[in-house]
């Protein structure tokens, strides 16, 4: 995925899976969703193993053109309509710094700032 605009999206596993599929459908390259926490974190938990669920997954998406990210934003909004109350955290894939959070109320102008390189 060199020389392509990239973003990392952090969301619940069900939302991350849908976003990865939507990105592929839009022609973007994606990583496989990966857990954002280590399995050892769950082992140190005071609750039982059957109660432990994977909470967040991270997907890195590489767009062929900068404008494709904003087109993909519409797919993110459509996905969030299916999962009320969910949000997607947008991160810089290299530094891990959070650029913002997309919710059902996020505007295109706000998304432009998050998706900007």
Render pLDDT for 29-86 as a digit per residue (tens, 0 to 9): 888 888 776 555 555 555 554 444 557 788 888 877 666 777 788 889 889 999 999 9
E-state strands within the chain: 6-11, 29-30, 34-35, 57-62, 88-91, 98-102
Q: Which residue has the higher pLDDT, 66 or 5?
A: 5
pLDDT tens for 78-89 read: 899 999 999 999
User: For residues 52-79, b (16+ Cβ closer than 10 Å) or e, as one string?
Assistant: eeeebbbbbbbbeeeebbeebbebbbeb
The pTM assigned to this predicted structure is: 0.77
How buried is residue 35: exposed, middle or buried, by Cβ count under 10 Å (0-12/13-18/19+)?
middle
Give dist(CA 15, CA 13) in Å, integer. 6
């Amino acid at each position: 995925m060199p020389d392509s605009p990239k973003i990392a999206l952090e969301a619940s596993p069900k939302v991350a899976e849908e976003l990865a599929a939507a990105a592929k459908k839009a022609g973007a390259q994606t990583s496989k969703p990966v857990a954002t926490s280590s399995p050892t974190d769950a082992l140190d938990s005071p609750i039982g193993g059957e109660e432990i669920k994977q909470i967040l997954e991270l997907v890195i998406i590489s767009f062929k053109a900068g404008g494709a990210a904003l087109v993909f934003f519409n797919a993110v909004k459509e996905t969030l309509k299916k999962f009320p109350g969910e949000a997607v955290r947008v991160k810089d894939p290299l530094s891990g710094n959070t650029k913002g959070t997309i919710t059902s109320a996020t505007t295109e102008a706000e998304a432009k700032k998050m998706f900007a390189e």
